[in-house]
Structure 1
Amino acid sequence: MKNLLFSLSIVLLYGCTTSSFKIDDLQPGDIIFQDVDCGPFCDAVDKVTSGYQGKDFSHCALVVEENDSLFIIEAVGKGVVKTSFTQFFSKKIAAGGTLVGRVKKQYANLAPKAAKNAFQYLGKQYDDVFDINNDKYYCSELVYETYKEANNGKEVFKLYPMTYKDPDTQAFFPIWINYFKQLNINIPEGEPGLNPGGVSKSTYLDIKPISF
């Protein structure tokens, strides 16, 4: 009997942390976090960020709804676009996997507002210089702006000084040196911004893996 009760207590204790969202469970305003395998750029992002439970995430996007159908709005290299679930979840994913962030119950009113806000950014250019103040958007910046607007202009996700340096050497990653050199701008070290890993650790969110 004691062994049975012990086993039940373990299930109750850890059941919530191991449960997952199914694709059919997704709702407008959910944030999808992915550890996309995109080579040196993603490796550099992963190395300077720490996401939920130490996982690496190099991309995040919003679930939205239109005409009773769910899909994704995301900021990628070609700009802010609509993406089908089939296309979005077919990416090559690394060890961090794919997780879903859903705002906690006390903030649930923000999610549908953020999802609706995302539509106004469709067609905007990708923010290749990661400037929070221009009218271009990178993935986590899009999430930041849609939720900030939903919260009457108050931040939901926090901005922090961004770094492009290898924490092991304190030298700039070569990939970033070449990247910003081609853009003919200085590396924006220390400028405010945010990344998918930081967003995934927000106290506003409940995080679960997704099952297919």
Structure 2
Amino acid sequence: MIFVITVLAACNQNKIQTGDIVFRSVINTELSEAINEVTQTAKKSNYTHIGVCEVLNNIVYVYHSDSDTGVVKETIEEFYTSEKNDYLVDLFRVKNISNLQIQQALQKAKTLVGQPYNFTYILEDEGYYCSEYIYEVFKNDSVFTLEPMTFKNPKTKTFHQGWIKHYNNLGIPIPEAKLGCNPNGMANNNRLEFMGAIK
């Protein structure tokens, strides 16, 4: 069974091109649960993490901003492999973008490697959270837009307990309605084409 999954993943990876965007499914942490519950969209998606791909010598790398490491470059296998969690990863491609624009976006991605993770989710603060990083990478191409953020459960209209705890720990107010972005919203962008599951 493991062999079959490995072969399938390898075949799917052959579809990946430089500039493609990968979305990772919800992981088993309080913060990821909080992100997912308040960012669900009308379309079916439950993404809590996002990265951009580069293919070099048939090896797929992902640039992304992780809460444990900040902005990093990893292989696609490292992106979807964890001792604690089993991830599902979907592949999307940016439409109506030139090769030059993709190369410029990747250059931007590389210059930001080493930046810390932005735990406040406030754009003006130091570092980058995962979707903020991808927004910044493609900012010159106007691929993604910013929208007022909400940290409230859409069903109860009250702040999710995970966010209350998170911002209490930071000692700052919840930045409700400040501009930002999230993986679920970005996955539903009309500029992206769904290419299939990677894992």
TM-score (norm 1): 0.79
Coordinate RMSD, CA, aligned: 2.1
**CA distance in structure 1 between the aligned counterparts of 2:40 and 2:194, rounded to whole angstroms:** 14
Match of 1:187 among 174, 180, 193: 174
Are 1:134 and 2:125 an aligned pair? yes
Are 1:125 and 2:116 an aligned pair? yes
Equivalent position amino acid for 2:16 in 1: L
Structure 2 unaligned residues grouped into runs of 5+: 1-10
Q: Name 1:208's counterpart in structure 2.
A: 195
**CA distance in structure 2 between the aligned counterparts of 1:156 and 1:107, rounded to whole angstroms:** 9
| 1:190–1:88 Cα change, 3 Å | same
Shift of 1:131: 1.4
Match of 1:37 among 27, 46, 63: 27
1:51–1:196: 8 Å Cα contact kept in structure 2? Answer: no
**CA distance in structure 1 between the aligned counterparts of 2:184 and 2:16, rounded to whole angstroms:** 20
Q: Name 1:59's counterpart in structure 2.
A: 49
TM-score (norm 2): 0.84
Match of 2:148 among 145, 161, 170: 161
2:18–2:55: 8 Å Cα contact kept in structure 1? Answer: yes
Match of 1:47 among 37, 49, 56: 37
Match of 2:162 among 175, 182, 193: 175
Match of 2:184 among 190, 197, 211: 197
1:64–1:116: 8 Å Cα contact kept in structure 2? Answer: no
**CA distance in structure 2 between the aligned counterparts of 1:52 and 1:25, rounded to whole angstroms:** 27
Shift of 1:51: 5.1
Equivalent position amino acid for 1:120 in 2: T
**Per-residue CA distance 1:90-123 (angstroms, 9 max, x = gap):** 24346xx32111012x224333321221000001
2:131–2:182: 8 Å Cα contact kept in structure 1? Answer: yes
Q: Name 1:83's counterpart in structure 2.
A: 74
Equivalent position amino acid for 2:164 in 1: I
| 1:86–1:165 Cα change, 3 Å | same
**CA distance in structure 2 between the aligned counterparts of 1:82 and 1:70, rounded to whole angstroms:** 10
- Pick the structure with greater CA Rg: 1
Number of residue-to-residue matches in the alignment: 185
2:59–2:75: 8 Å Cα contact kept in structure 1? Answer: no
Alignment map for 1:134-153 (pairs within 5 Å): 134-149=125-140, 151=141
| 1:67–1:118 Cα change, 3 Å | farther
| 1:111–1:50 Cα change, 3 Å | farther
